[in-house]
Amino acid sequence: MITFALPPGSSAIAPTSPRDSVRLLVARPSGLSHHRFRDLPLAPGDLLVVNTSATLPAALGRVHVSTWLDDGSWVVEVRLPDGPDLSCSPGQVISLPDGHFLRLVEPHLGSPRLWRAVVTPSVAPVAFLRAHGRPIRYSYLAGSYPLSEYQTVYADAPGSAEMPSAGRPFTSRLLVRLMTRGVTVAPLVLHTGVSSPESHEPPMPERYSVPLPTTRLLEATRLAGGRVVAVGTTVVRALESTLEYGLSGWTNLVLGPDRPAQLVTGLITGLHAPEASHLGLLEAVAGTSLVAAAYDEAVRERYLWHEFGDSMLFLP
């Protein structure tokens, strides 16, 4: 795992407008270069794969809703102002809006911060969050922003606790310009859970679905010698999961230097915090040396981190 230290002022504290004006660091084996996202250097024949999961207003008071399970229970994180509340215990009951209650059942998959919980009376999570929730936000942000700022322009399938933020810099105009240049865009869905930047845990299981036409476009692109460029680590995880879990379901796949990517050959990504598990996934696509060089350069050039921050494009 690569290591680095962030200097003060490295967090993006507010949304950038226009979205595609954020900086873009392009990392190739031949060297590093600096651009604006609107000048994304993709080529005719490339396949750009996007995650169309839409962000939910997943904060209910001090409860952050990460996902819900097939048995109807929820996976939640109980928060304090400065991080997860690690003093929670089984059986604890938390009041929710509209006369509902959340009962903590047990830690989720042994996590110290995530709990499996039951809501009574039972509710449909998407509708309940839309009615009563607000977007999850962290202390580095300068203010509260509407849910629209936490959506990609192609968001379509509600289910993510936090924005799949690698795709935020895309605008409709940029996507059309790429398509007119011969870049193909294909969708999939992976619903993200809470990220909790204080934690360096490996990724939790996540629900995903990859349409059959997307897999056919991927195969055709590879046969033609084009690049398969994933927009975000969520897309990498979903595509690579098709090799082990099929086209849909829950994925437990953890990618890293010891499990490199087999389908993805390029990656657009935001900048991840030091020691975050996502850094291992970047190494799975681009290799440790290229990722380390890119992050050293991003720190030196004062790139901005987090969901409203700058971007990287790895073309190993």
Q: Is residue 299 part of a domain?
A: yes
Cα distance between residue 180 and residue 41, in whole Å: 14
My answer on whether 173 and 276 are in the same domain is: yes
My answer on whether 153 and 90 are in the same domain is: no
Under the banding of pLDDT at 50, 70 and 90, the label for residue 278 is confident
pLDDT at 202: 80
pLDDT at 211: 98
My answer on whether 86 and 168 are in the same domain is: no
User: Average model confidence (pLDDT) for the chain?
Assistant: 96
My answer on whether 179 and 80 are in the same domain is: no
For the cut 50, the answer to whether the pLDDT of residue 291 exceeds it is: yes
Mean pLDDT for the stretch of residues 62-88: 96
The domain in which residue 152 lies consists of 19-55+144-314
Q: Is residue 137 part of a domain?
A: no
Under the banding of pLDDT at 50, 70 and 90, the label for residue 209 is very high
Q: Is residue 50 part of a domain?
A: yes
My answer on whether 228 and 304 are in the same domain is: yes
My answer on whether 116 and 256 are in the same domain is: no
Q: Is residue 278 part of a domain?
A: yes
Mean pLDDT for the stretch of residues 64-90: 96
Q: Is 292 helix (H, G, I), strand (E, B) or coil?
A: helix
Among 20-24, 83-87, 118-122, 225-229, which is the least confidently predicted range?
83-87
My answer on whether 208 and 125 are in the same domain is: no
Q: What is the DSSP secondary structure assignment for residue 145, as one 8-state letter? A: -
My answer on whether 29 and 77 are in the same domain is: no
My answer on whether 93 and 164 are in the same domain is: no
- What's the full length of the chain, in residues? 316
pLDDT at 198: 47
My answer on whether 211 and 298 are in the same domain is: yes
> For the chain, what percent of residues have pLDDT higher than 70?
98
What digits encode the pLDDT tens for the residues 251-264? 999 999 999 999 99
Q: How many CB atoms lie within 10 A of CB 268?
A: 27
Residue 53 structure tokens: 């999961």
My answer on whether 122 and 162 are in the same domain is: no
Q: Is residue 246 part of a domain?
A: yes
Buried b (16+ CB within 10 A) or exposed e, 277-287: bbbbbbbbbbb
Q: What is the pTM of this model?
A: 0.96
User: What CA–CA distances, in Å, run from 241 to 51, 236, 253, 313?
Assistant: 14, 8, 6, 22
pLDDT at 277: 83
Cα distance between residue 96 and residue 188, in whole Å: 32
What does residue 104 show for φ and ψ, rounded to 5 degrees?
-75, 130
Total structural domains within the chain: 2
pLDDT at 199: 53
The CATH code of the domain that includes 164 is 3.40.1780.10
Residue 155 structure tokens: 């968001």
Cis peptide bond N-terminal to 125, omega within 30: no
Residue 276 structure tokens: 């975050």
Please tell me which residue, 35 or 139, carries the higher pLDDT value: 35
For the cut 50, the answer to whether the pLDDT of residue 222 exceeds it is: yes
Cα distance between residue 17 and residue 142, in whole Å: 15
The CATH code of the domain that includes 82 is 2.40.30
My answer on whether 284 and 192 are in the same domain is: yes
For the cut 60, the answer to whether the pLDDT of residue 5 exceeds it is: yes
Q: How many CB atoms lie within 10 A of CB 201?
A: 15
pLDDT at 195: 82
Mean pLDDT for the stretch of residues 287-308: 97
| Final residue belonging to a domain, choices 132, 162, 182 | 132
Residues whose CB is less than 8 angstroms from the CB of residue 32 and which lie 6 or more positions away in sequence, other chains included = 25, 26, 293, 294, 297
- β-pairing, 228-231 vs 266-270, is parallel
For the cut 50, the answer to whether the pLDDT of residue 180 exceeds it is: yes
For the cut 70, the answer to whether the pLDDT of residue 196 exceeds it is: no
Cα distance between residue 13 and residue 137, in whole Å: 11
Cα distance between residue 274 and residue 4, in whole Å: 6
Q: Is residue 11 part of a domain?
A: no
What digits encode the pLDDT tens for the residues 87-131? 999 999 999 999 999 999 999 999 999 999 999 999 999 999 999
Q: How many CB atoms lie within 10 A of CB 172?
A: 9
Cα distance between residue 165 and residue 139, in whole Å: 17
